[in-house]
Amino acid sequence: MLSHWRGQQGFMWSFWVNLVGLRLAVFAIQSAFYPDIGHDYTAYAIEFLLFAAFAHGVVLVWQIVGVLRAGERFISSGGSFVNVWGSYLGLLIAFWISLSFAFEIWQWTLPYPGKNQQARRVDQFEFAIDKTGTIAHISGDIGFGITRKFRAFLKKHPDIKMVVLNSSGGNVYEARGIAKLIRDREIATRVEKLCYSSCTTIFIGGKTRSLAKSATLGFHQYRMAVEYQVGLVDIEREYIQDRALFLSAGVKSSFVDKMFAYKPDEMWFPNIEELRRAGVVTTAKYNMMGPRLPKRLFVWSNFFHASVDGNTFNQGKDLHAFF
């Protein structure tokens, strides 16, 4: 380390190994800790900021000084100026890339945008299962952490054949997670009251998809839950990803184009014939009263277990009445 600092190592070795190779290693290590969407490192802020100061501060200065001094010795011994000038360009590039990586670590230590909002929303969903264990209900906001909880719910009730949705939407990433769980298990989906925004992403994951006569699906563009720009989120990329999801489920491309044409503060409510022709709804018949359930309905929420008496599940209203 001291010999590099003094410029006593070979110029090419100092540049390609001590600078380029080590910088790439630092970038790779940092990238391995890239947080998942919806997560941050606020709990480890000090550790990550110390790493940034060391890797992108102390180590970078050591690398730059060593290359500069090795370059001077290289020229004094008759080396080419062109190679040294090229190394100066490399140093400048390394500096700016390192600065961006350091800034990225600082972003990791900040609370994830919308996390507090999502944390409040996570308690606003309910899962329910009928006595036969084959029909499940998801009602309320699609909040942060719901995918993980629904995965556990499926493990507890492995015989689920249909999921009935009643939601005005929520987190897009969580909706995709639930859709994947439903799709992988070839579970049918159904809406008896409403399914808006990201809820439709869950609905489209069903092996078969049906609506009650009075049910509505609502589509529009995405919006961020915060009032400032989030650099790690590309809305256009999210559209492309969900467009592929809908197309893979057999939905016509013209329908997908139209559903993303409505602004975040607007909502498109296609009628049943439009949904059927586009391939969104796959089951032609619908039951006006919804599925008949046993005398006792078991309800699971984020807080506790409870049960309510009733003959039918009235389009999701029963769950809301008890939480």
CATH of the domain at 289: 3.90.226.10
The CA distances from residue 71 to 28, 48, 75, in Å, are 27, 33, 6
pLDDT at 188 over 70: yes
Which of the four pLDDT bands, split at 50, 70 and 90, describes residue 306?
very low
Question: b/e per residue, 243-261, with b = 16+ CB within 10 A?
Answer: bebbeebebeeebbeebbe
76 and 134 share a domain? Answer: no
Contact 232, 204 (CB under 8 A): no
Q: Which carries the bigger pLDDT value, residue 38 or residue 178?
A: 178
Contact 175, 142 (CB under 8 A): yes
**Residue 116 included in any domain:** no
146 and 240 share a domain? Answer: yes
Domain boundary residue among 108, 140, 165? 108
The tens digit of pLDDT for each residue in 110-142 reads 886 555 554 554 457 899 999 999 999 999 989
**Residue 195 included in any domain:** yes
Domain boundary residue among 108, 141, 170? 108
**Residue 244 included in any domain:** yes
pLDDT at 217 over 60: yes
213 and 78 share a domain? Answer: no
146 φ, ψ (degrees, to nearest 5): -70, -30
Q: What is the pLDDT, as a whole number, of residue 115?
A: 54
103 and 130 share a domain? Answer: no
Q: What is the pLDDT, as a whole number, of residue 123?
A: 53
83 and 142 share a domain? Answer: no
| Number of folded domains that form the chain | 2
**Residue 53 included in any domain:** yes
**Residue 203 included in any domain:** yes
Q: What is the pLDDT, as a whole number, of residue 197?
A: 93
204 and 307 share a domain? Answer: yes
151 and 274 share a domain? Answer: yes
68 and 41 share a domain? Answer: yes
Percent of the chain past pLDDT 90, that is, above it, reads: 67
44 and 98 share a domain? Answer: yes
pLDDT at 160 over 80: yes
Full residue range of the structural domain in which residue 42 is found: 2-108
Which of the four pLDDT bands, split at 50, 70 and 90, describes residue 234?
low
85 and 15 share a domain? Answer: yes
**Residue 117 included in any domain:** no
193 and 279 share a domain? Answer: yes
CA distance 315 to 193: 5
Handedness of CA 155, 159, 162, 166 (dihedral sign): negative
CA distance 166 to 148: 19
Q: Which carries the bigger pLDDT value, residue 314 or residue 101?
A: 101
**Residue 192 included in any domain:** yes
**Residue 114 included in any domain:** no
| Summary mean pLDDT of the chain | 83
Contact 30, 105 (CB under 8 A): yes
245 φ, ψ (degrees, to nearest 5): -65, -45
CA 320-174-260 angle, 5° bins:
95
The tens digit of pLDDT for each residue in 63-120 reads 999 999 999 999 999 999 999 999 999 999 999 999 999 999 998 898 865 555 545 5
Kindly report the number of other CB atoms within 10 A of residue 264's CB atom.
12
273 and 308 share a domain? Answer: yes
